[in-house]
Structure 1
Amino acid sequence: MNRILLAWIGITDIRAAAGELGNSLGPIGQAVVDRSFGSICLLSDHDQKIGHDYVQWLKGKTSAEIQIQHTKLSSPTHFGEIYEVVLSAISHLKNKNNHNLFHLTYHLSPGTPAMAAVWILVSKTSHPAELIESSPGHGVKTVSFPFDISADYLPELSPKADDEIIRLTQGLPPEAVEFDAIVHRCKEMKRLIARSRRVAVHEVPVLIQGESGTGKELLARAIHASSQRPKGPFVSVNCGAIPFELFEAEFFGHTKGAFTGASHAREGYLESANGGTLFLDEIGELPVSAQVKLLRALQEGIFQKIGSTKSIQVNVRIITATNRNLLEQVAAGRFRGDLFHRLAVGVLQLPPLRERKGDLNVLIDHILARINRECSTQAGWRDKNISASARNLMHQHPWPGNIRELFNALSRAVIWSPGDTIQTEDIQEALLPVSEKQNGNGMILNRNLGEGLKIGDILGMVSQHYLKRALAEANGNKTLAAKLVGLPNYQTFSNWMKKYGVEN
């Protein structure tokens, strides 16, 4: 398993590298000499040359790969800025390692007390890790904090208005109430909504891209409500659910007797949406032959019902959505390029939940309040709340199903929880297992030999999986968990937990 050290470069480290402290190596140097790390990620608020010189000095003390991330803080005690830099560094490491198994260690000694506080906060909430400190008198030691920190207290990352948001929203009419339904706090979503409001007032097609469960239809409805035609109909169509043989009947309609079973005339989606918005979800699922017919109708604004020679003209705004990369589909010949360019005028990208830093807490609170409201009419119902440890566990989940998965998980937790407070074990039962593909680990038993395969990493992955399962089934009782996985006692189980980076 790759062991990764993260640390801020402190003044003492710089002085040690300059030879000003005699034989002292400084906190970071002492740690890399005392312990083995595969990678070292350094964060620096110092001049870039100072940071570069320190890295060169540190390379003489360790064979680990060293990378440095330079930043400029307005103050070395600004919690919000420090927190944002730390989250960015951890996310970069996880993406670089393709979310494969690795062990994180945060160094508390170098840097300011605010930097140390952020390492503690992150380790106890969204990104668990080993915490260490080092000093000349006591060497390098692991630090334990026997308490939980609620994810409620994570810093607000966007305390001031973003320049791009201000620019995008200048001169726009008041925000439609439908945008209020999009619960958010992070900068990414604020920018997206600002762009959505700007494109809404222009009569152009909009393409919304995003993973399943990110709320594409909710955004489409808000755009419609902010458009020049808010009182017109909003017709939502799931393109993936329409068989090709029914495409023309569904989109263009038909006359009575046009085909077997057509006992009465019927409007198609285009006619039903006249004067309003036609929302085509999963547009990437539409067969190429159907795409040709749709393109012709959109270009001309005219179509004919099945069984009729009379042309019908409509005025419809088109909003489409997809969880596919349509440009890749075009290159592969599975989506027409001319239709793509007809649809992709205003292009909006909805971020997945895992990238919406700061939004998970407000979404948990919003969804739990909704569930409480909906269940309030049940006999004997008492509102549920959620414990700090359960909330923290939710911060560690990757949420491949995004907001839809979050809603379903909280609904299950409400059902499983016997008391008024949702506990960690309720969330453990409510979360669905993340597939190896979704977790970035790939298939364990079918990997190609060579190509970077490391059997130690695979063994660590399997061990971590079963240690976590045993802990969950034993409700945190290490003696029972040890028996479940065939280990002799709880001390051995604890050693395995430490070895493979499993939190209790």
Structure 2
Amino acid sequence: MSSETLLCWASVNHGPQVLSGALEALAGHGHSIERVLLLVQEGREVPEDLPQHPRIETIAFAVADPTDHATLYKILREELLPQISALEEPLHVNISPGTPAMHAVWLVLATGGAFPPGTRLWSSQRPDPEGPARIAPVEFAPTTWLSALRADLAQTPQRAAYDPEALSAVRRAALDRLARYARVPGVPLLILGERGVGKTRVVESLVAKLKGDRHVVTFSCGHLKGEGAEALLFGHADRLQHKASAADKGLLHKADGGILFVDEVQDLPRDTQRLLLPVLQGRVRRWRRLGETEQQGAKFDLVCASNLPLAELEKTLDPDFFDRIAHLQVELPPLRDCPADLRDDWSRVWRETGFPGEPPWSPTLERALMEARLPRNIRDLQRLAAIIVSTRPDGPWPVSLQRQALEEWRATGASPPGDFGTGTRKQRLHWFQRRLALWAKERYGTWQAAASELACDESTLRVDAKGEFPTESK
């Protein structure tokens, strides 16, 4: 039997008997539990006379009201899941100890695919205090888009995609909006965000799943110009046989039934933008390959992405083309505006790199990430992971080496001085006001609390956060 882990709340009544009974019953089902993670409500004493077991680890959680569903869910999402996300051994969860609210939260987490793949839920009972304990598997696993997406992400840990159920309010709002917009068929979707926020990852994971596991054909506009871009998109006829070979049918043809993802759309040549306008007019996309007169047709959804602010993108693109692709807009916030998600982001990046062991975490590292500007977002985390591996010996990560790695990381651009956006003075002030408003809302929880802390009107912060980019002063 392989090593396995049991997770459960400490039972208020008959705690030792409940735990020992669950261990005995699981052994009867052929499960060798070598590690127990026992969750204890902060302020309560650890149950006495726990069963003789080589590894019982207690984890205290500050839960004032164990009947509050929202608080239980938030604490487990933010504090427990990061600790168990990297478990390699099979995980079992006994959902019986605890309040009915706790039972419901276990089921919601499992239904959403939050636990490591292969986790099993159990319900334990001892109808007769003198009789043997019983335990039965909880067969409750409805498939939701969230659980299906998490299952896919678990199969590809090398892709550090965002958890769609983000902890930061600004990221959660953006991903919720993305989830709504991605379900609208036939309407182009525009995704904005700084370099390195993961726009491509979001399209290839979240958007593709929401559109029914559609395949994604990616066209990066920064690589080709002029006729090269047109030939790649539309395809072209063979010069000798005057018809397109399979290799020359173009990306529009390959996207049939799926998603055409146009990355760095600001670099798409204007002539090509004009040629694409007729393609975007109907649900069935129609075009002609270069060198052919016969019209082609395909069905696909269009998703575009850019790292430019919306107002600058509008000036850069052809006006008609911009109008066609910008009906539905989502801006992914930078990592520095999502402090509650930084630990999850860091863990995913560490796993993506394939480095051994659990991702390092300490108060020193947490403080460094919170204080950094992270101008390159996920790429800054990737660089930090590489620096850590270069300094980290086998075993614990000493504080001296933590500081060395973080100093190297900061010196190579994690927190550049003078980061005040781009554009004119007015535009940079606006950029700062928006970041300040979003940060204050995230930091203090509500617009009212943020306004009180900054000694301003709540309406002022809400207006600042809308992010309508001002034009230059005449």
Over residues 86-141 of structure 1, what are the superposed CA-to-partner deviations in whole Å (9 max), with x where a residue is unaligned? xxxxxxxxxxxxxxxxxxxxxxxxxxxxxxxxxxxxxxxxxxxxxxxxxxxxxxxx
Post-superposition offset of 1:176:
6.1
Q: Which residue number in structure 2 is paired with residue 248 of structure 1?
A: 230
Amino acid at match of 2:286: I
Q: Which residue number in structure 2 is paired with residue 363 of structure 1?
A: 345
Q: Which residue number in structure 2 is paired with residue 404 of structure 1?
A: 379
TM-score (norm 2): 0.50
Q: Which residue number in structure 2 is paired with residue 217 of structure 1?
A: 200
Q: Which residue number in structure 2 is paired with residue 205 of structure 1?
A: 188
Q: 1:441 to 1:280 in 2, by over 3 A?
A: closer
Q: Which residue number in structure 2 is paired with residue 182 of structure 1?
A: 162
Over residues 141-165 of structure 1, what are the superposed CA-to-partner deviations in whole Å (9 max), with x where a residue is unaligned? xxxxxxxxxx999xxxxxxxxxxxx
Structure 1 position 330 matched with structure 2 position 330: no
SS at 1:279 equivalent: strand
Post-superposition offset of 1:441:
7.5
Q: 1:436 to 1:247 in 2, by over 3 A?
A: same
Aligned residues: 266
Instruction: Select the residue among 329, 336, 340 that pairs with 1:347.
Output: 329
| RCO comparison, higher one (Cα < 8 Å, 6+) | 1
Post-superposition offset of 1:231:
4.3
Post-superposition offset of 1:197:
1.4
Post-superposition offset of 1:432:
4.7
Post-superposition offset of 1:223:
4.3
Q: 1:425 to 1:259 in 2, by over 3 A?
A: farther
Unaligned runs of 5+ in 2: 1-77, 81-142, 154-160, 422-474
Q: 1:324 to 1:365 in 2, by over 3 A?
A: same
Amino acid at match of 1:403: I
Partner Cα distance (1:330, 1:384) in 2: 41
Partner Cα distance (1:368, 1:387) in 2: 15
SS at 1:193 equivalent: helix
CA RMSD in angstroms comes to 3.5
SS at 2:369 equivalent: helix
Q: 1:369 to 1:325 in 2, by over 3 A?
A: closer
Structure 1 position 273 matched with structure 2 position 248: no
Structure 1 position 319 matched with structure 2 position 290: no
Q: 1:323 to 1:189 in 2, by over 3 A?
A: same
Q: Which residue number in structure 2 is paired with residue 393 of structure 1?
A: 368
Partner Cα distance (1:285, 1:409) in 2: 30
Structure 1 position 415 matched with structure 2 position 390: yes
Partner Cα distance (1:417, 1:435) in 2: 19
Contact preservation (8 Å) 1:224, 1:277: no
Partner Cα distance (1:198, 1:437) in 2: 35
Instruction: Select the residue among 405, 429, 453 that pairs with 1:426.
Output: 405
Post-superposition offset of 1:385:
2.4
Partner Cα distance (2:345, 2:207) in 1: 23
Contact preservation (8 Å) 1:297, 1:303: yes
Partner Cα distance (2:79, 2:306) in 1: 33
Q: 1:370 to 1:250 in 2, by over 3 A?
A: closer
Contact preservation (8 Å) 1:257, 1:263: no
Partner Cα distance (1:193, 1:296) in 2: 30
